[in-house]
Copies of this chain bind each other. A is one copy, B any other.
Amino acid sequence: MLVSNSGQTATERDNGANLTTAKLNSWQGIRDEIQRRILDRSLVPGDKLPRDEELAAEFGCARTTVQRAMRELADRGAVVRRRKGGTRVNEDPFTRASLDIPITRIEVEQAGAVYGYRLESAEKKALPKRVAEQFGLPSRPKMLNVRALHTADGTPYIFEDRWVSFDTVPEILNVKLAVESANEWLIRNKPYSRCDIGVYAVNASATEARMMRTSPDQALFVIERTTWIGEDPITSVRAVTRPGYRMISRIR
């Protein structure tokens, strides 16, 4: 190790290059410094970074601390790390966005609106082909089909068409779905071990247009979620959102 960090404070070395960042020598400081080198193209895609041990010497810290910083950068997709291969700046950069999908009631309330919920129907039916495919099931067993409308200040917000496996979740048959949303009951009472999510756009069908009080063919944003516990299907839901619905995410 060439440089000791004893007695060296952040301010001593902060020459103004970093405006936002934490103490140098902290794992966040190291992460930000490496990221800065990528941002200002001191390091370009494909470049090999020094070994953790060398970086530890450079920053005057333990290798563990460098590890912590580099793991974050790897999680973000900024660098690729391989044993023996070393650490390189990612050749194929991509944008990694993290989306939090809350319970609808909470989403509405956080927007400052009054949440409402109306059950449209709940009946046992054979799974349509599309949903069976979602679950990856070869057959088309009976499940509970629940249709319900979520409203914000009285206007339609999300219309959900849901299938719940009462083989996996028999308790669902005892839930008063006229009062409590299946969405909320399931999320609070039946955590999943796997979840597939798909988002896309559709033209409103006649039914959807009526439910959402809009015109047929209106473009609507759809969120599909299918969940399992282990190998067993729990639920698959197609949530049609109101016209103009946007899903947003901010990075950094």
**Alpha-carbon separation in the docked complex, A107 to B176 (Å):** 45
Contacts of A98 in B (CB 8 A): 96-99
A218 within 8 A of B: yes
Are A250 and B196 in contact, with the CB atoms below 8 A? yes
Are B201 and A202 in contact, with the CB atoms below 8 A? yes
One digit per residue, 1 when the CB lies within 8 angstroms of any chain B CB and 0 when it does not, for chain A 73-114 equals 000010000000000000011111111111100100000000
Query: Which of A51-59, A137-145, A186-194 has 4 or more CB atoms under 8 Å from chain B?
Result: A186-194
Task: Give the number of residues in A that approach B within 8 Å (Cβ atoms).
Answer: 52
Are B203 and A218 in contact, with the CB atoms below 8 A? yes
**Alpha-carbon separation in the docked complex, A60 to B191 (Å):** 28
With A94-B103, A101-B97, A103-B94 in contact, do A248 and B198 touch (Cβ < 8 Å)? yes
The 7 A-B pairs at the shortest CB distance, nearest first, are namely: A201-B201, A219-B219, A95-B101, A201-B221, A201-B219, A195-B251, A203-B219
What are 29 A-B pairs at a CB distance below 8 A? Answer: A38-B191, A39-B193, A92-B102, A93-B103, A94-B100, A94-B101, A94-B102, A94-B103, A95-B101, A95-B195, A95-B225, A97-B101, A97-B195, A97-B197, A193-B252, A195-B251, A196-B248, A196-B250, A197-B248, A197-B249, A199-B199, A199-B221, A199-B247, A200-B221, A200-B244, A201-B219, A201-B245, A203-B219, A219-B220
